[in-house]
Homo-oligomer: A and B are copies of this chain.
Amino acid sequence: MNHFMKKSIEHFKIENENKARLLIKCPDQPGIVATVSDFLYRNGANIITSDQYTLNPDGGQFFMRIEFYCPQLGEKAEQIEQAFQPIGEQFAMNWQFVYVSQLKNIAIFVSNEPHCLMELLWEYQSGSLMANIALVISNHETARETVESVGIPFYYIPANKDIRKQVEERQLQLLKDYEVDVIVLARYMQILTSDFVKNYENRIINIHHSFLPAFVGAKPYERAYERGVKMIGATSHYVTNDLDEGPIIEQDIGRVDHRDDIAKMKKIGQAIERVVLSRAVKWHLEDRIIVHQNKTIVF
């Protein structure tokens, strides 16, 4: 970690030591906002931003994300969480307090193409991606030099479908050792087993190199070229057991025309992949994403 990053992170932690987020998901009913905002007010918290959404207003589902400031938050956090418990029960809430200065630990999985990894490292080094990139795992040695030059541990774990079980055991051990909160598949071209996935539900972020649900599966650029589309895209989503079917976080697209062959499409696509994955990871780190069934609410 270079000097600039260290300073960025220290600065961020100090600036945000009294900031927290409250995430709520519950059946809709009158009085939720009044109760929650009154609770925060009585506990000395001042709301910075608040977003809410009700799916199907009649008998539907309520979602909320509040970011608040509270003096002496460190000392008061435990007591606040305890005091919130009855409210959570009253409204049958799925709720969580997250403390902004407690950076999340990220593991990045990468294969042979480094562009998405590079973008994340770049955002990390420039202080735009506020997290702790704890380690990088790859089934190729390609990225070792780059990763280690930033001071991040790099683990080379060769992988193929025949040794999937052993590979994942080793990966899971590393994730445990590094206390990883979120896994980013930055063009990691291996399929994960459902055993692996269930350990990190809604915490594995993938980038798929197509505008899903177009071109699910392998070789999307080749198939986009074949079909003669005029735009190509990329999709970032949480990984579930259904390949490329998990909740979509973000998508974006770029124009192509008849002059663009497959190689050119890949270049154009890589720029889109970088941006889309980077946005999705940042939104996750800022606790902006709530998953409901197979969709995301992004506040």
List the B residue with the shortest CB-CB distance to A259: B53
Interface size class of A (residues with CB under 8 A): 35 or more
Copies of this subunit: 4
Interface centre among A51, A118, A213 (most CB of B within 10 A): A213
Question: In the complex, how many angstroms separate the beta carbon of A207 from the nearest chain B beta carbon?
Answer: 14
Tell whether A101 is near chain B: CB-to-CB under 8 Å: no
Decide yes or no whether A90 CB sits under 8 A from chain B: no
Which of A36-44, A74-82, A151-159, A178-186 contacts the other chain?
Answer: A36-44
CB atoms of A37 and B33 under 8 A apart: yes
Contact B213 A227 (CB under 8 A): yes
Q: Is the CB of B297 within 8 A of A258?
A: yes
Query: Chain A interface mostly helix, strand, loop or mixed?
Result: mixed
A229 B215 Cβ-Cβ under 8 A? no
Please choose the segment from A131-139, A188-196, A244-252 that sits at the chain B interface, where 4 or more of its residues have CB less than 8 A away. Answer: A244-252
Q: Is the CB of A253 within 8 A of B253?
A: yes
Q: Which of A50, A52, A230, A298: most chain B CB closer than 10 A?
A: A230
Kindly identify which residue among B41, B69, B275, B298 contacts A258, using a CB–CB cutoff of 8 Å.
B298
A231 touches B252 (CB 8 A): yes
24 cross-chain CB contacts under 8 A: A30-B44, A30-B45, A30-B46, A31-B41, A33-B33, A33-B50, A34-B34, A34-B37, A38-B38, A47-B52, A50-B52, A53-B258, A149-B149, A211-B214, A212-B214, A212-B227, A213-B229, A214-B214, A227-B248, A228-B248, A230-B250, A230-B298, A231-B252, A258-B296
